[in-house]
A and B are shown apart, each in its own frame.
Chain A
């Protein structure tokens, strides 16, 4: 194959969620490509761990929309529930529950960020619950919800939501779409491949003995991929090593948020679907001797996602502790990045280098997000004590320590949380700034209190105008 030959054929290894997502989005973006997909037997670990439900973050929805998948498709195809944030129980040392909403919290007062005003009031002895000033949290609490209508400029427009989807159902829909657009299902693959010298693959050998060559191989076969390269092990930071998932059906839709409950050996989450709940149970095997059957998993990532002509996406590139609910978001980011940087030629070191740079940035930020979510918690149990006793890596430690010093949020290039998201995370876990913003501290309490009251009043009024969540979901179902 001449190096500058145009890239014309792709093979996707793995027919799980990540594989069909890549197949559908690539077939839509680049209709001239010849795309084949080979299936890998066994449960779908293409996103990292097999979960009954996964979450699309608020920012993912417009990106998917641009790629051709709109909200109504996702709602129907994924039996989705809306997600306004995450409710935490058992995560705080003081035993209190907390809510981490998506979207902005409160509103700044002139140039002063809302969370600095909160911090000023708390240091003056006034307890303030940030969630009382977040539209998503108030809507979740009231059991009311409606997506803001397009072009809305009222308080309602600030309502920020993601979707919790039934992973297997949505994979089915993506598969149907990809096949309709000409993606070829080429057979079953057990992992045999003829490697090239450069970390790439010449051809895959299929179960029936035939072989399949491709200019580019997209590895969507999950963390145990036979095409795995050198890997960084994250187990020193992440003690949880077992995962189990289940889907429960229910008459009524579950409320519009993810509920995450910490317990002595790990944590458990419940993600809302249109007709039930996706449960995830994650724990440390050393701390839960009598636990029911669960699958082992080992957080870590590839040293490079793209080597030679192999691009690893989703769980094949990195396996994160699922605590921050990012695995679907990250797989989508991988596919969109691949499309944005799609190579013109069979040899493509420049595209691969830039892909790897962006992927690493994002992977590190997701690592920090999951790690801080665990390490800042006050949950009770020996495994949590061990987690907290370990020194954090520099970057994650700096994020926490800076916030604890003065409430500032560090933002790198690959963030999965923006300032509001980090603030919500730290605040929910009781990490509080020692000092505040001097300009905020100079404001009289009455002025801040009046500002808070005005925000809360406007938000409560906006929530009051939303329909009950159950009614909305009944309408979606109809």
Chain B
């Protein structure tokens, strides 16, 4: 250990971000002379939502050595194969963005070109007929993927839907068992070094002071340290993503246990449905300049499937990101770092990514500015790329039925997204980058699902005859359908692996 190593880490906040950070640091720094303290306030509480994830969460859990069945039992979790989008391209449309690929390439030509040619030649099968996870999701079926690349079961991945409160509690037990000290109490002040502005300690209502060298700000939207103390600044993206409120309510589950999240576009926003084992999480994300809180709540209550089991909760937010997610000795993670609406369940992944990057750029008390600089560069890229992907959902629509949809359909989008859309629309090319969590298959799912069909394709796809192409695709489609029908229902699968919540 070098002489200026960090010895005291303080995590401010005990929501999903705080406990994920605490668990991961406790695991990775095990055996080192470092103390980790987490301060949280029951009185303030957590945001209490955030229950749908993306597949990367499995690697986070696996790194910590968490057993899947145990974790699913204790967080009342279900499997997730993707997200169903209803009413996005047009009212009445439905498509699923799966964690998996569509079809197989033929002689080096990507499947979406073949499908587009097939559709232009009069082929009737929707693109989802060529995706095992979509077919399985529509039938409420699930099984673990297979690593054998020859198997159709290797064409998808999966994530979870879980109870956020139970997950935080699960990680808290994990972290505390590994030496993390939890301090209950409301922080009233941050004491900073007079010259540098570095945070020296936080002061609780009780008068207790918690001092440290590295502070991880997981205090949620307020950004207690990163903004209130350090004034890192906030870049507002609401001109592209104008939804600024949400109302959330859990309800009893009345339908089969579906292995996917649903996002239904409404008049001035959209509603989520996240099925857990013991209940369904619902919420309505909306734009307050287009709909009142009351109407938004009524719209939500009007479309949930079962009896509400709590009072609806209202949440306010501004989409955007902190100008510096790492400033001096404070690293903001979770809602304190920025907010992107949960349309693609990205926030928990961004937390996970931030923790990984922090460990990659682990500082010492000499605070080499390059650690923060590179960390911020990488996190900025991730946020921008998720942002573009979310804007795509709003912008690639034909909806004209409300002022909200007219606004997002006709607004100017970031140059990076405009180029992507144009390139796909004209020639079916998926523009993608090294950094960014969404791979080509995700972009293709949303483009095609929202009726952005390439006007022209890869000239190499013309090498196959129409009849030959029809035959190959029919065979592929039959394979997917046969395989999907063989999978067990999710309920049966949960029971089989012993993951039923008590």
Contacts and interface: CB of A to CB of B under 8 A. Distances in A.
A353 B371 CA distance: 35
Interface string A29-67: 111100000000000000000000000000000000010
Leading 9 A-B pairs by shortest Cβ distance: A344-B456, A350-B426, A405-B370, A438-B362, A413-B434, A354-B423, A442-B1, A442-B32, A350-B423
B366 A435 contact: yes
A344 B456 CA distance: 6
A441 B364 CA distance: 11
A436 B360 CA distance: 11
A354 B429 contact: yes
B422 A350 contact: yes
A406 B368 contact: yes
A341 B113 CA distance: 12
A142 interface: no
Nearest to A414: B434
Given A438-B5, A438-B364, A402 B459 contact: no
A402 B370 contact: yes
**Which of the four size classes fits the interface of chain B?**
35 or more
Given A357-B419, A435-B366, A437-B362, A344 B434 contact: no
Interface of A: 7, 29-32, 66, 111, 123, 339-345, 348, 350-351, 353-354, 357, 401-402, 405-406, 408, 410-413, 415, 434-439, 441-442
B419 A342 contact: no
B368 A439 contact: no
A32 B374 contact: no
Nearest to B363: A438
18 contacts: A30-B460, A66-B108, A342-B459, A344-B427, A344-B456, A345-B456, A350-B425, A350-B426, A406-B368, A408-B360, A408-B370, A410-B374, A413-B434, A415-B434, A434-B368, A438-B6, A441-B1, A442-B5
Given A66-B108, A342-B459, A354 B431 contact: yes
A401 B419 contact: no
Nearest to A438: B362
Contact of B423 (A353, A402, A442): A353
Query: Which of A350, A357, A406, A413 counts the most chain B CB atoms within 10 A?
Result: A350
Interface string B359-393: 11111101010110110000000000000000000
Contacts, number: 92
B203 to A, nearest CB: 28
Contacts of B371: 405-406
B239 interface: no
A395 B256 CA distance: 54
Contacts of B419: 353-354, 357
B244 interface: no
A398 to B, nearest CB: 8
Contacts of A439: 28-29, 32, 359, 362
Main secondary structure, interface of B, reads loop
A461 to B, nearest CB: 29
B111 to A, nearest CB: 15
Contacts of B368: 405-406, 434-435
Contact of A32 (B360, B373, B429, B462): B462
A350 B463 CA distance: 23
Nearest to A415: B434
A30 B5 contact: no
Given A351-B429, A402-B370, A406-B371, A30 B459 contact: yes
A179 B379 CA distance: 51
Contacts of A342: 458-460
A406 B370 contact: yes
A456 B427 CA distance: 50
B457 interface: yes
Contact of B427 (A31, A341, A413): A341
B148 to A, nearest CB: 15
Nearest to A123: B2
B193 to A, nearest CB: 21
Q: Quick one: which of A7, A354, A412, A441 has the most chain B CB within 10 A? A: A354
Given A353-B419, A438-B364, A442-B32, 16 more contacts: A31-B463, A341-B427, A342-B459, A344-B456, A401-B370, A402-B370, A408-B360, A408-B361, A435-B366, A438-B6, A439-B28, A439-B32, A441-B1, A441-B5, A442-B5, A442-B31
Contacts of B29: 439
Given A357-B419, A412-B434, A343 B6 contact: no
A376 to B, nearest CB: 17
Nearest to B5: A438
B358 to A, nearest CB: 11
Given A350-B423, A438-B5, A442-B5, A413 B459 contact: no
